[in-house]
Structure 1
Amino acid sequence: MRFDRLFPQTIFWRLAWLTAIALFISVAFAVSLFSYNRQQMIAAQVSEQVSEVLADLEGQLDDMSPAERDEWLAINHRPYAPHLVSMGTAEAPPSAAPRSQQTRAIAEALRQRLVGVGEVREEREPKRQLWVKVSMLGQPWWLVIPLGRFKSDPFWTLGASVVVFALAALAVAALSAWRLNQPLRDLRVAANQLGRGERPRALPETGPLEVRDLSASFNRMLADLETNERERNVMLAGISHDLRTPLARLKLGIEMMRDDSLRAGMDEDVEDIERILGQFVDFVRGMGTEEAVEGDPAELARGVVARYARMGQQIELHLSDDLPLLRLRPLALRRALVNLIDNALRYGAAPWSLTVQREADKLCFVVRDHGPGIPEAQQQEARKPFHRLDTARRADGGSGLGLAIVDRIALSHGGELCLCNASDGGLSATLAVPLETE
């Protein structure tokens, strides 16, 4: 098991957990330090009280005879008040009785403050008292000190203080983490838009210095990409214009040729050049500036099929009954479907079909042919630009950009292109887009 999976994956929750752990450690240390200081303070007070009681008792008993001492001790033997008890009494708690941490601290303070202090025992029932073995007037005694006056403060006050402090600190930490995470979320959204071919807005350069630098770098990258795109479009327009003009002259010259055997081959070569040039333009142009609009995918599919019907190509159309309206880029999506059908016509075999159906939260455009298909091991490679599958496709003027263009259009809609070989032969190409496409 990987331990990193036990930790939160987002910056917000990681900062929140780290703050909570640091707060727990600091509060535990503060409470421990408070408890230790309180124990030491009580121990010092008790040792001072014992010292004063011993001095007072010794002053009173110093001039008395043994009989007078016994009589005085019997008279002043008041329960739960400081008093002396002879060593042979059966009232003393057993020596093996457990002692609390506070009792051990008091015993240590007594040994440091007074000379002649021996064993210290603790009596808890019926009332908490401290039995200290002392030496006074040449003989050992038990000095009994009640500890009832050293009660702890109510626990709820300390607990309430800790809870209020913890909640306040966590609230401040959560607010700081949220403010730090907000620019990063904006950056993630903008990066996803850029990856889909969209043009995100410039990020606000706010927050900590590192986040501001990151946003500024992303904005500079956006500006550079826009500049490169403008230059690319200018170059593309020039190439398209400069090439189409001589191609038109070539087509005119071919029509004037008298040798029919050469004319057919040259016409085919010119058409291949125009098709390859068109695919280059489509691939480099990408989505252009087309905005997503609400449209009917059924009408889009009917228009594509009708185009091929006018050219004499029969494409079967299958439409589900529950097709919804959704936001699409119709020109880009039509270009993708045309590329898929062109590939099916060029490399597959009849019958050909276009199916539009709803599957869970996706809308699927499925182009089906009955040709040789694409080997499963090469289906991923077939999406790459300029990649030709010569072992499964005929090299007849294609550029290897058809599926790359479709894949790019699918990503721009937040969808995907799936290729699979049908069980009864042929290739099934599915362009799936989410129903919530923006």
Structure 2
Amino acid sequence: MPIPLHRLFPRTIFWRLAALTALALLLSLAFVVGLFGYARQQLVANQVAEQAAEQLAAIEDALDGLTPAEQLDWLQRSQRGYAPHLRSRGAPPPAPYAPPLGPLERAIAAALHDKIPGSGEVREAPPPRRQLWVRVSMLGKPYWLVIPLGRYRADPTWTLAATATIFALAALAVAALFAWRINRPLRELRLAAGRLGRGERPEPLPETGPLEVKELSASFNRMLADLDATERERGVMLAGISHDLRTPLARLKLGVEMMADDSLRDGMREDVEDIERILGQFIDFARGLGNEQAREGDPAELARGVVARYARGGCAVELLLDDELPLVPLRPLALSRALANLIDNARRYGAAPYSLGVHADAGSLRFVVGDRGPGIPADQIATALQPFQRLDSARRADGGSGLGLAIVERIARQHGGTLALDPRDGGGLLATIRLPLALG
């Protein structure tokens, strides 16, 4: 199956810029080297043809007026291997060999036909003697004009190609540096956007680089400022809601406790507690991690604190710890809130015994809350993680808001981790928060 053409192109901006620059340089250098070779070839051909034409004219002047015997004697005495000279038509010419003529020899032959009227067949002597034999006519007699091309012909085209290659490598290094300088702010933007997507607050980006990249960084920084302003307004609003609602709730609780009818008092007390719990979940969901910073801590101590808090309330939660757990960067308040939500869900919708396990494996830390209840059907797990989603009608009347698992999933994501819900062998549910050992 043929590979699609678009998959052959680099995927990153850095390598695309480097590849396009390399391709442009190679095409430019190939054109320059070819143009130089052609121009040199024409220059050499014209020079050789002009030299041969001048030498032929001088020989014709010298032979004019001599007897045939004197002409033959003069030609024999004037033959020098390093200069163009004439040989009689009876001299054996070199046998043609393949290829008959090279590119330079063809150019010289074409120039000779232009410079020397009446010139005919052109032959090339095989190496190591590099000569061109051109059939000419002089004083009404046929001759061979022998033009030496030299035993060694250094072709500067290869020197130019080597020089151009070195230049291309240097230019590619500069282009790679340029591409890296462009790609660096884009990479910083990608990392900052990833941190923002996890609910973290990235630092403002440096507004450097080309105009387009600078404007993109400035737009991102303005967005961060707008989000900060929105976050502050939301915090003020939540603080106001919390204050305004908890005060009348406290009066309601006091009034309920003073009621004489026990049946009404118990029901209204539960309603007030449900309202307080729902209000707390709303605030937790909107607050996320808040301003809490990650600090190195012991996950075992965090888990012991959570289990001890439930033990004081009369709920037994079994603690399962690995023998050795590393010290890792943690946000203890947020993680404690997430684990408490999972245990509260297990108590509300599952069944005892409850357990909290902390385990470390390759590159990750796992907090696992288990129960022995009915669990969650596999086709409803994705729905259970969504905010304000209730799985069945029985759960709609339990005083919950449908935010418990959504809060846990959000806290896990803000840590760079994940939340997974899996059926437990023997019945029940395992809720696993998996966090990277190195938090971003």
TM over 0.5: yes
Unaligned stretches of 5+ in structure 1? none
Contact 1:371–1:427 at 8 Å: present in 2 too?
yes
Q: Give the structure 2 partner of residue 328 of structure 1.
A: 330
- More deviation, 148-157/57-66: 148-157
Return the match for 1:297 from 257, 278, 299.
299
Q: Where does 1:253-332 land on structure 2 (aligned, <5 Å)? A: 253-332=255-334
- More deviation, 367-376/2-11: 2-11
TM-score of the two chains, using structure 1 as the length reference: 0.95
Which of 397, 415, 418 is residue 399 of structure 2 equivalent to?
Answer: 397
Question: Contact (CA 8 Å) 2:373, 2:429: kept in 1 or not?
Answer: yes
Asked if the contact 2:390–2:396 (Cα under 8 Å) also holds between the matched residues in 1, the reply is no
Instruction: Describe the superposition over 1:40-97 as per-residue Cα deviations: whole angstroms up to 9, x where unpaired.
Output: 1100101101111110111111212222222322333444542222334323232765
Q: Which residue of 2 aligns with 1:239?
A: 241
Moved more, 149-158 or 50-59: 149-158
Contact 2:33 2:157 in 1 (8 A): no
Structure 1 residues 316 and 34: alpha-carbon distance in aligned structure 2, compared to 1, 3 A threshold? same
Query: Any idea what SS the aligned residue of 2:240 has?
Result: helix
The separation in 2 between residues aligned to 1:255 and 1:96, in whole angstroms, is 116
Give the drift of 1:407: 1.1
Alignment partner, residue 183 of structure 1? 185
Q: Determine the structure 2 residue equivalent to 1:27.
A: 29
103, 106, 130: which is aligned to 1:104? 106
* SS of equivalent to 1:152: coil
> How much does 1:4 deviate?
3.2
Residue 208 of structure 1 corresponds to 210
Q: Which residue of 2 aligns with 1:343?
A: 345
Q: Which amino acid aligns with 1:17?
A: A
1:128 aligns with 130
Equivalence for 1:11 = 13
* Identity within the alignment, %: 67
Cα distance, 1:216 vs structure 2: 1.0
1:154 to partner: Cα distance: 5.7
CA deviation after TM superposition for structure 1 residue 362, in Å: 0.3
Unaligned 5+ runs, structure 2: none
Instruction: Name the aligned partner's letter for residue 221 of structure 1.
Output: M
Which residue of structure 2 aligns with residue 93 of structure 1? 95
1:118 to 99, 117, 120: 120
Compute the displacement of 1:156 (Å).
Answer: 6.9
User: Counterpart of 2:104 in structure 1: which amino acid?
Assistant: Q
Indicate conservation of the 8 Å contact 1:363/1:432, yes or no.
yes
SS at match of 1:270: helix
1:198 maps to 200
* Residue in structure 2 matched with residue 57 of structure 1 by the alignment: 59
Alignment-derived partner of residue 218 in structure 1: 220
Q: CA deviation at 1:7?
A: 2.7
Alignment CA distance shift 1:119-1:381 (3 Å): farther
Structure 1 residue matching 2:96: 3-state secondary structure: coil
Equivalent-residue separation in structure 1 for 2:13 and 2:248 (angstroms): 59
8 Å Cα contact 2:37/2:157 also seen in 1: no
Q: Specify which of 48, 66, 69 is matched with residue 68 of structure 2.
A: 66
The Cα of 1:218 is off from its aligned counterpart by 0.6
User: Which SS does the other structure have where 2:391 is aligned?
Assistant: coil
Q: Does 1:354 align with 2:348?
A: no
Alpha-carbon deviation of 1:391?
6.8
SS at match of 2:281: helix
Aligned AA (1:426) = G
The structure-2 alpha-carbon separation of the partners of 1:386 and 1:150, relative to structure 1 and needing over 3 Å to count, comes to same
Contact map agreement 1:369 1:426 (CA 8 A) in 2: yes
Q: Kindly report the root-mean-square deviation, in angstroms, between the aligned alpha carbons of the 2 structures.
A: 1.9
Aligned positions, number: 438
Confirm or deny: 8 A CA contact 2:128 2:151 kept in the other structure. Answer: no
1:251 equivalent among 250, 253, 278: 253
Q: What SS class does the counterpart of residue 281 from structure 1 fall into?
A: helix
Q: Secondary structure at the match of 2:134?
A: strand
TM-score, normalization by structure 2: 0.95
Quote the offset at 1:303 in angstroms. 0.8
Secondary structure of 1:240 counterpart: helix
CA deviation after TM superposition for structure 1 residue 330, in Å: 0.5
Contact 1:16 1:174 in 2 (8 A): yes
**Distance (whole Å) between structure 1 residues aligned to residue 274 and residue 41 of structure 2:** 94
| 8 A contact 1:85–1:142 mirrored in 2 | yes
Q: Distance in 1 between matches of 2:99 and 2:187?
A: 63
Once residues 313 and 207 of structure 2 are traced to their aligned partners in structure 1, the CA distance between those partners, rounded to angstroms, is 54
The 1:354–1:420 alpha-carbon spacing in structure 2 relative to 1, beyond 3 Å, is: same
Shift of 1:263: 1.8
